[in-house]
Amino acid sequence: FSVVNFFHRQLDNIVVGWRFGATELGFYSRGYQLMLLPLNLFNGPLSAAIEPSLSRLQNEPERWRQAFLDALGLLMFLGAGTAACLIAVSNPLIAIVYGPGWEKAATIFQWLAVSLFAGIPMNASGWIFISLGKTRRMFVWSLIFVPIVGLGFLLAIPYGVVGIAASYAITMNLLLLPCFAFATRASPVSFVDAIKVILPLAACGVVAAMAGISVS
């Protein structure tokens, strides 16, 4: 899964560099790296604590289910709030972090930050696969997921680098429900349980992002 996921993380860079050149790749890759910070900030420490905790509960389905939903709720609360803030302050954030001349990266970054509403909970689906010893299904999901993302990049080429970023955001959000439908099958947590946690917090994040954009 990690090998396939590595190509998922590099596909857009390959397409942008091949089609639009090094300068546009610079704008895109800097925006992408900044977008990854919340993913690494939340998912790394939480996964390190939650995966072994869930593994110890794999023979106690009800406790496993409740622990997973609690952790997912915490992750979505932090993640959706962070995504909303990043979307709302994308222009000044890019100006502060990268300085003059990087303004184009702000629009790219803003679209990539939209992908966090789905990307953060989708990473949490790995907790299900790993803690229940179903990593073969995790690998199968990567073989479904990565080609779809790659196709989205190719279809977005006529719309430029910003189109590539928008394609990533749209594709990730469209794949959120299929991801959890696949991950929760034959697990202690149901698809409906997971979506009831994810969607309200994601919706709050979207509303907060729109409010932040209007204020800024």
The per-residue pLDDT for 9 is 84
Whether the Cβ atoms of residue 46 and residue 78 lie closer than 8 Å to each other: no
- Reply yes or no on whether the pLDDT at 45 is more than 90: no
Q: Whole-angstrom Cα distance, residue 60 to residue 159?
A: 50
Q: In the prediction, which pLDDT does 85 show? A: 93
Pick the closest to residue 140 from 5, 47, 14, 44 (CA basis).
Answer: 5
d(C-alpha 12, C-alpha 172), whole Å: 13
Over its C-alpha atoms, the chain yields an Rg (Å, rounded) of 18
Minimum mean pLDDT range among 29-43, 90-104, 181-195: 29-43
Phi and psi based region of residue 101 (left: phi greater than 0; alpha: psi -120 to 50; beta: remaining): left
pLDDT, mean of residues 25-43: 85
Quick one: pLDDT at residue 186? 87
Which tens digit of pLDDT belongs to each residue from 151-168? 999 999 999 999 999 999
| H helical segments located in the chain | 2-20, 22-56, 61-88, 90-98, 104-114, 116-131, 135-156, 160-184, 191-215
**For position 39, what pLDDT does the model report?**
76
Q: Is the pLDDT of residue 184 over 80?
A: yes
The per-residue pLDDT for 44 is 78
- Residue 54 confidence (pLDDT): 95
User: For residue 42, is pLDDT > 80?
Assistant: no
pLDDT tier, 20 (very low <50, low <70, confident <90, very high otherwise):
very high
Q: Please give the mean pLDDT across all residues of the chain.
A: 92
In angstroms, rounded to a whole number, what is the distance separating the alpha carbons of residues 190 and 184? 6
Q: Output the pTM of the full model.
A: 0.90
* Alpha helix positions (H), 132-190: 135-156, 160-184
